[in-house]
Chains A and B, each alone.
Chain A
């Protein structure tokens, strides 16, 4: 599978590969994190979330890993499909009242068949 250690703006993978998208967040007090997928011309679509009291959470074909020590978040997509091609954003919630989300730099995932 394709893996990156630092944030890269683009990631190109082959269909069937595993993809890993990385994100650095800014506020050590943030306690809630979300990954969104945004397809061209559409709004962000919720993928998976994780709270700061966890370091891993799994969904359908996706896994989010949280490393609070280095303020790093990653999204793993198993068996990547062409329909996974989109821009992926991580977002953090630094306010426990659940107000503003702060978005990271997006990563454009391109899947070729």
Chain B
């Protein structure tokens, strides 16, 4: 049973660029949440997707956007990258009505 997978594992971008991160949920899960984890901090909720719609959003600017596909996989897009966007981006999946979220290994983004 495959767990949550994310790609790429590492990414280096420069300020002002745009980035797309990808996530495939655990088998049987239909809900995908994205989190940002700065070094030494706990994960912070960005948004959650269910039925291809954004269901809830955390305190992140509009530069952060996402998408969910019919196969439940998801993308996180960040525009106009800032140095402060450097972080580990985590994807978590869950099933409808079940609060337990299972995390992927993350994508380490470095903005120079």
**Contact (Cβ within 8 A) B45 A101:** yes
**Which residues of A in the span 39-95 have a Cβ within 8 Å of any Cβ on B?**
42-46, 49, 89, 91, 93, 95
Residue A29 lies at the interface, judged by CB distance under 8 Å to chain B? no
How many interface residues does A have (CB within 8 Å)?
A: 23
B90 / chain A contacts, CB cutoff of 8 Å: 43-44
Residue A102 lies at the interface, judged by CB distance under 8 Å to chain B? yes
Residue B104 lies at the interface, judged by CB distance under 8 Å to chain A? yes
Determine, out of B11-19, B61-69, B72-80, B92-100, the stretch whose residues face the partner at the interface. Answer: B92-100
Q: How far is the CA of A102 from the CA of B48 in the complex (A)?
A: 13
B48 / chain A contacts, CB cutoff of 8 Å: 99-100
Q: How far is the CA of A46 from the CA of B99 in the complex (A)?
A: 12
Q: How far is the CA of A11 from the CA of B28 in the complex (A)?
A: 37
A99 / chain B contacts, CB cutoff of 8 Å: 33, 48, 55-56
B105 / chain A contacts, CB cutoff of 8 Å: 42-43
